Amino acid sequence: MDKKGLNGTFLNGNKLERGEKKVIKHGDVLRIGANKLLIHIHPGRETCGQCDSSEIKAAIESGAVSATASASAEKQSLSPKDASITVKNDVVKAKYGFRKKNRRSGPRQRTDTLSNDQSQYQDRAAIRRARDKATSANAQAIGATAAAQAGSGFSSTGGASVLTPIDESNVGARLLSKMGWNKGEGLGREKGGIAEPISASMRLDHRAGLGFGANAVPIDSTPSELRQARALSVTQERYRQIEERERRGQA
């Protein structure tokens, strides 16, 4: 009797009405939803040919073979568009390791489509890497050539220092001499400008702003001279604070 199931109950292919009672006999086929049952009714422990384990195994294998054959027939009946989509899916699976590359997944038509797709494929990333590599090599070659030219063509500038006067090989000295300047003279039309080089100094206190002339050392001081200057600056600051406190105490 059907107990008001959602998918209904079928006996030998006939749907049972709700509440309808039927007598089940040996050999009947009862289907409940997706489950199909073959009814066997025997007195005692007797069996029939269909109840034997070897017969059941053979029936299961024959069903599996028929299912495989139907699946293969369905694959072979695919349209060219569906076959192309399936081939592309197989390529993606083989690329990421979900499918063996040499596995045959369809009829000859899929193999032909796969070979055509592979022949038309262009690895744009490889092309871009090769182009970038060539561009980088050209840039390095141009940079090396420019460095060589700079080393050979501008070697006459020499190094400038505030402690040593520049010689005639310096480009700036040659330009000034062409404008009428001589060594030891001041700058300007009337020769009244500065004759000494501008001295560059470094502040010991990095928080000091522009115009703060105290506690400054030459820019070319050695590390030991810089440490001595900082120690002297700290000592002077301490003495200044002591004198200021004593002055306030006396007042």
pLDDT one-digit tens code per residue, 97-135: 666 545 554 555 555 555 665 667 788 888 888 888 888
Q: Give residue 151's pLDDT.
A: 54
Query: How far is residue 8's CA from residue 31's CA, in Å, rounded to a whole number?
Result: 9
Torsion of CA 6, 11, 17, 18, to 10 degrees: -50
Residue 124 lies in a domain: yes
Q: How many domains does the chain have?
A: 1
Query: For the range 43-51, what are the long-range contacts, defined as Cβ-Cβ under 8 Å and sequence gap of 24 or more?
Result: none
Query: How far is residue 99's CA from residue 110's CA, in Å, rounded to a whole number?
Result: 16
| E strand or H helix at 224 | helix 223-250
Residue 58 lies in a domain: no
Q: Give residue 239's pLDDT.
A: 92
Query: How far is residue 4's CA from residue 202's CA, in Å, rounded to a whole number?
Result: 98
Query: How far is residue 239's CA from residue 245's CA, in Å, rounded to a whole number?
Result: 10
Query: How far is residue 102's CA from residue 100's CA, in Å, rounded to a whole number?
Result: 6
Residue 137 lies in a domain: yes
**Angle at CA 82, nearest 5°, toward 79 and 86?**
135
Residue 113 lies in a domain: yes
> How many Å is the Cα radius of gyration of the chain?
50
First-to-final CA distance of the chain:
119
- Alpha carbons within 13 A on the beta-carbon side of 73: 6
Domain of 106, in residue numbers: 79-144
pLDDT interval class at 168 (50, 70, 90): confident
Residue 109 lies in a domain: yes
Query: How far is residue 248's CA from residue 15's CA, in Å, rounded to a whole number?
Result: 115
Q: Which of 11-15, 85-89, 188-192, 238-242 has the highest mean pLDDT?
A: 238-242
